[in-house]
Chains A and B, each alone.
Chain A
Amino acid sequence: MAQRKMTVTVTVDGVRYEEEVEPRLLLVHLLRDRLGKTGTPIGCDTGNCGACTVMLDGRSAKSCSVLAVQADGSEILTVEGLASGDEWHPLQRAFHEEHALQCGYCTPGMIMASLDLLQVNPDPDDTEIREGLEGNLCRCTGYANIVRAVRRAAAESREVSGA
């Protein structure tokens, strides 16, 4: 069963890691099992639920659908690296205060997918928010408060950037 190992170098939440991995290792397992980044959960194994969404070189990606070796040389941002110290990202604040989570298992992926959405479209309407998050499943909330949280975070982000 021994496989050829490969070296991957990734920067995760601002920290550089060099790891020997089997070529078949998924990025989400590199994050969780090797780097201890358990803030990114696994929900389905089949790319459907989006719980494991991270930012890979500035765009959202389901980390269960990327091999660790494909991420070699990449900059990865997980939900754990989103806040600057005690200063939360507007999306984190909005998800918390708008009650956009219950069990919270989808939240890391939901927030990272929303981050990508707001990058592309800083002022989305509700329909655009729903389209932007259709790849992320939530079983608890019925999504209403998630839409509201993203709308609020978008407004706050625009205020901050003076747009």
Chain B
Amino acid sequence: MTTSKATTSANTFGGIGGNLPRPDGTLKVRGEFAYSSDLWLEDMLWGATLRSPHVRARILGIDLTEAIAMPGVHAVLTHDDVPGEKHYGLDRRDQPVLAVDQVRYQGEAVAIVAADHPETARRAAKAIKVSYEPLPPVVDPAWALDPASPPIHPGGNVVRRQPVRTGVFLDGPGAPPADVVVVGEYEVGMQDQAFLGPESGLAVPAEDGGVDLYIATQWLHVDRDQLAPCLGLPPELVRLTLAGVGGAFGAREDLSMQVHACMLALRTGRPVKIVYDRQESFFGHVHRHPARMRYEHGADADGRLVYVKAEILLDGGAYCSSSLAVVGNAASLGAGPYEVPNIHIDAYGVYTNNPPCGAMRGFGAVQACFGYESQMDRLAAACGLSPVEIRIRNAVSEGSRIATGQLVDTPAPLAEMLAELAAMPMPDLPAERPGPDLRDLPGGVSQTTRGEGVRHGVGYAVGLKNICYSEGFDDYSTARVRVELLGGKPHVLVHTAAAEVGQGLVTVLAQIARTELGVANVTVAPADTRVGSAGSSSASRQSYMTGGAVRAACAAVRDRLAAHGPAESLTEILALTGPIEETREYRHRPTFPMDPFTGQGDSHTQLALCVHRAVVAVDVELGLVKTVELAAVQDVGRILNPIALEGQIHGASAQGLGLALMEEIQMEGGRVLNPSFTDYLIPTILDMPPMRLSILEHPDPHAPYGLRGAGEPATLSSTPAIVAAVRNATGLELPRVPIRPEHIALT
């Protein structure tokens, strides 16, 4: 059920504001959409990867003899065969294409094979003999903070430390006096993006000595800019085309098999396809940073925050990936969307020998949100206030400043959102008595009781997320728009490099072009590197950035058309001029670095809010949780496509539910224990409850159409709201997510 305060009226020809169906949906419901794993060329070879079984080890030698001798094997390559730079990486080029002298995590790629059949390739990879000398790993991120821990990379194990200091904390660590002080320590487990379509791609060698790569990714140009140096090729000889993407959620921001497939294709002169299976996928991409957090909140007797102190430790694993930016987010958003006069935050990202961690939906803000929202509930209890009231009393609004000192200069109606959420009708609760319908109980029909131990609980949480890239990054997108007559009718072609990963960008870009040009017939061309960079499909930024670029290119086309006078129709003008094409780059207003000592600075371009209410049923004897309902209020500035937007909020909420109740990559000594969908659980249709949504439109005057990025915020607030509801039902502290049955039943 959704109520929308939308003032946007859906127009008749498919412009912004309407419930347009996705153009790729027609192929997707017919099984005709080509995912990267479906690509096929008659003469292609199959690639396979040999990965390290060790968490940390020195490589003493690699013997390829047996693998090379196997019939059907065309190439077996190691780091010696990397044509150019041997390392790549998003924030730092610290990750080897193939392990050089040592391996730093279990699953690190050591050698690659191309063969005429995938099974031959896998057998050949197994036949490679690597001699390892295991080394003692650093798997405890707290130890990694210690300068005495063995350095995993030159320069030590601290990737980034970002302090935030405001108010009295500019003078020292001593906290100001407060009537009420609550302290809590919290932990977030390692979550996986668990997209359904595993990593895959097809590299095709070209006659000009270059390579064409068809790949499921989030950012074609940043892939190319890491690929080309590793291949020793100029960027123009490395051409990427987006293949069908089976979900992303951050896991495709880093390279996986891109360099490997291209190396094998260039070496063999044949197209090479690599498809990971699910287990390899767990080792083939970065995960969400696990976090350990200590929070201290001080408030006056009325529950108004006096200060927040926090230490946030993020485990970045073996390579940097995007840890620098994740730490920046955890620090700058670490106090949440509250007015706090005195803030003392230290956020750290460290190297360990755990799997590398990087981008996942919510990106550093998710972990901090679980910490500060758990604290707000403690504070509410200590002050004798309701969870909603404590949040309303401290809520930011337009004119407030967040932890970085940055002014909230756009609408931020958090208090109103909370009031609306609290006023939403509650779901009908199954009776708390023996003999109810088993299907309504936690555990469903697997329940072994009659529900005697079932208790209900309600929880609230809010989340604050930055939209677009922050901290001075030159964030831009490029769009090329061409208007011409096709079959005597005006037609618009929109060409960008922006990755459609499932979020619905292609729909929105076509809607924008229709609105701007008044032409119904719009095609969005396949994304590739023949047009300038669109930036990443992450940070909830593509509607804003590539939407902004399409809008700007359309305006440029309109200007050229206008030169022909208003009297003539578009068809008449185009008949005279022929095709009109314009390319534009779009940038959001600039952001600035955080001060290295105080964290102060206008580091974000846009901030977004979401609030959740969760209602749960908990079987306190069995430790099982059923989420009965999730309700959410999110402000998106301007709704471009209501049904697609709701889908984003539903999906983001589901991933937050997963983090609250089930999703964790479990490790022992740096080894992953559950790299499969049998053992790594994501929410099923029975785990995810119906949702009640209210979507608000308070425009951001700095953004195209006033829109606010919408893909991530609901991922933040859903987790702490569910945990708060379970705490409410059980009276337990539950300082760690995901909550496991034994945290409830065996305490």
Contacts and interface: CB of A to CB of B under 8 A. Distances in A.
Contacts of B28: 96, 101, 104, 107
Contacts of B32: 39, 80
A48 B654 contact: no
Interface in B703-725: none
Nearest to B678: A46
B30 A147 contact: no
B676 A103 contact: no
A101 B503 CA distance: 10
Nearest to A96: B25
A140 B24 contact: no
- The winner among B31, B246, B691 for most chain A CB atoms within 10 A is B31
Contacts of A106: 196
A27 B101 CA distance: 42
Contact of A45 (B22, B197, B246, B277): B277
A99 B643 contact: yes
Contacts of B643: 98-99, 145
B688 interface: yes
B686 interface: yes
B416 to A, nearest CB: 25
A156 to B, nearest CB: 14
A137 B650 contact: no
A43 B686 contact: no
A43 B685 contact: no
B690 A92 contact: no
Contacts of B24: 104
B196 A141 contact: no
A46 B682 CA distance: 14
B678 A48 contact: yes
Contacts, number: 179
Contacts of A126: 690
Contacts of A142: 647, 649-654, 688, 691
A41 B685 contact: no
A131 interface: yes
A141 B690 contact: no
B196 A103 contact: yes
Interface residues of A, number: 58
Contact of A134 (B34, B37, B248, B685): B685
B386 interface: no
**Main DSSP-derived SS at the A contact region:** loop
A146 interface: yes
A96 B650 contact: no
Given A102-B502, A105-B196, A44 B677 contact: yes
A51 B643 CA distance: 23
B691 A46 contact: no
B30 A102 contact: no
A101 B25 contact: yes
A38 interface: yes
A138 B684 CA distance: 7
A63 interface: no
A121 B652 CA distance: 31
A138 B30 contact: no
B676 A46 contact: yes
A145 B647 contact: yes
Interface string B201-239: 000000000000000000000000000000000000000
A57 interface: no
Contact of A88 (B29, B247, B646): B29
A41 B37 contact: yes
B31 A130 contact: no
A44 B676 contact: yes
30 contacts: A37-B31, A38-B31, A38-B34, A38-B40, A41-B35, A41-B196, A43-B197, A43-B278, A45-B279, A45-B676, A80-B31, A93-B29, A96-B21, A97-B21, A99-B21, A99-B647, A101-B29, A103-B196, A105-B195, A105-B247, A107-B29, A130-B685, A137-B684, A138-B196, A138-B685, A139-B682, A141-B651, A142-B654, A143-B685, A145-B643
Interface of B: 19, 21-22, 24-26, 28-35, 37-38, 40, 194-198, 245-249, 277-279, 439, 501-504, 643-644, 646-647, 649-655, 676-678, 682, 684-686, 688, 690-691
Interface of A: 32, 36-49, 51, 78-80, 82-83, 88, 91-93, 95-99, 101-108, 111, 126-127, 130-131, 133-147
